[in-house]
Structure 1
């Protein structure tokens, strides 16, 4: 480089900052010597994977926005009829923990041992199986273990769902998300398209709250579910007793106490153990039959 203004000063070039023009196109690397490989992983193969993942993600988002997730009622720890169920992809683990050798005294084996071996083996598979053969029938050990795991997951998932359906049928339970959706459609039909209650609508008041039978009711087993205010727990499927006299007579209420109805079991013997007599139960049934909307 020149460092002065003299015309005869020697000029020394120490570098060339000019960008050289490419004389030919970029030629992809030749992978013919590597069986099974056809392109570089970064960026060619990785870019294709990202594009496929983006398309799948958009499809999932469209399904989520078009079909609302089924929701049940708010969690109620006092609802003994609720059957908790995990998401479908955990049903196989849910069923596995039902067996004697993975529960009770062996719960650590079921929750940590078996899953740890399964998923740990999956993570270590690339390091344990280092063979160059890519055809599954030429890799009998890895293929057999993978097939066995797949069959086990499918079997446990199907059995778990079958047991759940049988339990619902035996107990006469309607899943909360189905019940809530039915109630929503019913309210829309009754109220002209809205699920909120009509303005001014109020619950029926308690009839004869000072009656001696009201004190007997508080000593009975009925109060545990229907509450001291007779409001019940509609979210858990337990109806309110306010206005029950419009639906059932005294004899019918006595029959429900002695024989049960729906999810409610017979309460007669339990009330006798509580210290109530036949006359007390008769007074309670008579008082409940007078609970009518005014």
Structure 2
């Protein structure tokens, strides 16, 4: 302490040792002994991760804006030919639920048990694997679980997509998003261009139902045809289900019967299903005859 105003007197500052000196300045830890191998998490490492994340996000946004999302047709509960499929990142789970031990009576195991164990183990991994070793070949348990999980997801995803393609090929179907895009491009090439999209003229109307009191009309309401083509025979052309009004202008009775027995294009054969519903060959003959009468007036 100083006494008076003597310039040559030494000044000694006395502090309280119980009070710690505080500094608002963050001094990063020194990693100079490990060049290129380690760094401070905040802010150095976190800033690099943020910059990489921003670049990836901008790239994804550019892809989204440059390419429109593939869309199918509006949902149609009467379309029995439609094969639902989840997004690609859920294909492995979709395939897993097809197996007997994860579906039906074991659906709880497939939806909660298996995913719960898998994702729960992933969440607990940082707490269970606390060793300092980071080389994967010196961490046999963690590495084995990682490779098994990766191989399982890849296998289930590829298998699920392969089954989907085989089913589409067997039913002679085209994915709705591809079919709709093809129709869009075809519509742009027709008269009217992109503004009209190849739409029909306002004056064009569907042909009326011919002989609605015919016995064949009653058989039609009992047959499997009605589930797709509708009770009004209008079908759903946007979903690939043709209209049966005016079908007599395109198909004869024998051709229609052939389609019922053998199928055609996206339509599978309906003969056996109709027989199971209680219809006879005579009924189907009347049905084909009535449909051949459906001509534009």
TM-score tier, shorter chain, comes to 0.7 to 0.9
Q: Deviations over 1:125-144 (max 9, x none)?
A: 11101111122222121111
- How many angstroms apart in 2 are the aligned matches of 1:113 and 1:273? 40
Which deviations, in whole Å up to 9, do the C-alpha atoms of 1:8-50 show, x marking residues without a partner?
xxxxxxxxxxxxxxxxx99753124679863322222211111
Range with greater deviation from structure 2 (50-59 or 208-217): 208-217
- Which ranges of structure 2 fall in alignment gaps of 5 or more residues? 1-24
The aligned residue for residue 228 of structure 1 is 231
Cα shift at 1:116: 1.0
Change in Cα spacing, 1:116 to 1:208, as seen in structure 2 (3 Å) is same
SS of alignment partner, residue 159 of structure 1: helix
Output the CA distance in 1 between the equivalents of 2:110 and 2:26: 55
Change (3 A) 1:273 1:179: same
The answer to whether the 8 Å contact 2:91/2:157 transfers is: yes
Where 2:190 maps in the other structure, the secondary structure is helix
Q: How many equivalent residue pairs?
A: 269
For 2:146 and 2:36, the matched residues in 1 are separated by 22
Q: State the partner residue of 2:100.
A: 100
Quote the Cα distance in structure 1 between the aligned partners of 2:168 and 2:136. Answer: 42
**2:271 is the alignment partner of 1:259:** no
Say if 1:95 and 1:157, in contact at 8 Å, map to a contact too: yes
User: Are 1:199 and 2:211 an aligned pair?
Assistant: no
Instruction: Quote the Cα distance in structure 2 between the aligned partners of 1:48 and 1:264.
Output: 57
Task: Quote the RMSD (CA, aligned, Å).
Answer: 2.7
Provide the secondary structure at the position in 1 that maps to 2:70: coil
| 1:162-181 alignment, distance < 5 Å | 162-181=162-181
Q: Give the TM-score normalised by structure 2.
A: 0.80
Deviation at 1:191, TM superposition (A): 3.0
User: For 1:217 and 1:291, how far apart are their aligned partners in 2?
Assistant: 13
Counterpart position of 1:249? 252
Is contact 2:80–2:228 with CA below 8 Å preserved after alignment? no
The question of whether the paired residues in 2 share the 8 Å contact of 1:245 and 1:291 is answered with yes
Aligned residue runs from structure 1 range 266-277, under 5 A? 266-267=270-271, 270=274, 274=278
Gaps of 5+ in 1: 1-24
Measure the CA separation in 2 of the matches of 1:48 and 1:169: 47
Structure 2 distance, partners of 1:100, 1:221, is 30
Q: Displacement of 1:271 after TM fit? A: 6.0
Are the counterparts in 2 of residues 207 and 290 from structure 1 also a CA contact under 8 Å?
yes
Question: Map of 1:21-60 to 2, 5 A cutoff?
Answer: 28-32=28-32, 38-60=38-60
